[in-house]
Amino acid sequence: MDKTEYRAVIKLFVKESLTPNEIHSKFIKVYGDSSLSFSTIKKWAAEFKRVRTSLDDDPREGCPKSATTPEIIEQVHDMLLDDRRMKVREIAETIGISKERLGYILHEEVDMKKLCTRWVPRLLTANQKRTRMNISEQCLERFNRNKTDFVRRFITMDETLIYHYTPESKQQSKQWTEASCSAPKKKRSVPSAGKFMTLVFWDAESILFIDYLEKG
């Protein structure tokens, strides 16, 4: 049952001159754990005693349905496209609607969400992206052209710096303690200054070769 049907039952019992306690007992007997709370039953019983007829909630100020109009939705969308870092409060104050109604428009009507910027190693230009695409197409063509009995595979190489000593991170040093104990302490350490370049070669199955380059 939805809340409107529950309220209709309360209204019927009020017409029969039952008290909120008696109504609550009947609800517990019939609906069990899904019954309404006593405070809710008492509230609506008082409303119906004051000759209330409607079973629906009273309209809330600040969240009018008229705020979700095609014109306002388009205005919100245009503001987001002009400045993708605008805050919800700024948009709501500019348009003159509540933050709750704006949240509905953002998630249900415009279908947009605010995300943090993701760090990447580098941003490629259009020319760099086209070069990578051309190289990938050449490799794929060569791969498909190879009709020999040998195992066909791509081997990839990348380079990385490895320090002689890398300290344990704060996340790695977490340990279980009693609830009454304070956090354990450890001396602060930094990565060692000594490091060397490492070349790693691998294919789709495993690492094939690791080469450690001499300094310089």
* pLDDT per residue as tens, the chain (216 positions): 678 888 888 988 988 889 999 998 888 888 887 788 888 889 889 988 887 888 887 765 544 556 688 889 989 889 888 888 888 888 888 888 888 888 889 888 888 888 877 777 788 899 999 999 999 999 888 878 776 655 567 788 999 888 887 777 777 777 776 677 777 777 777 777 788 899 999 988 899 999 998 877
Q: The domain 3-49 is classified under which CATH number: 2.10.260, 1.10.540, 2.60.40, 1.10.10?
A: 1.10.10
- Both structure tokens of 156: 């990839």
Read off φ and ψ for residue 189, nearest 5 degrees.
Answer: -135, 155
Phi, psi of 20 (to 5 degrees): -55, -35
Q: Name which of 55, 59, 85 is nearest 67 in CA terms.
A: 59
**pTM, full prediction:** 0.34
Residue linked to tokens 């790693």? 200
Which parts of 33-188 fold into alpha helices (H)?
Answer: 38-49, 70-82, 88-95, 99-104, 126-145
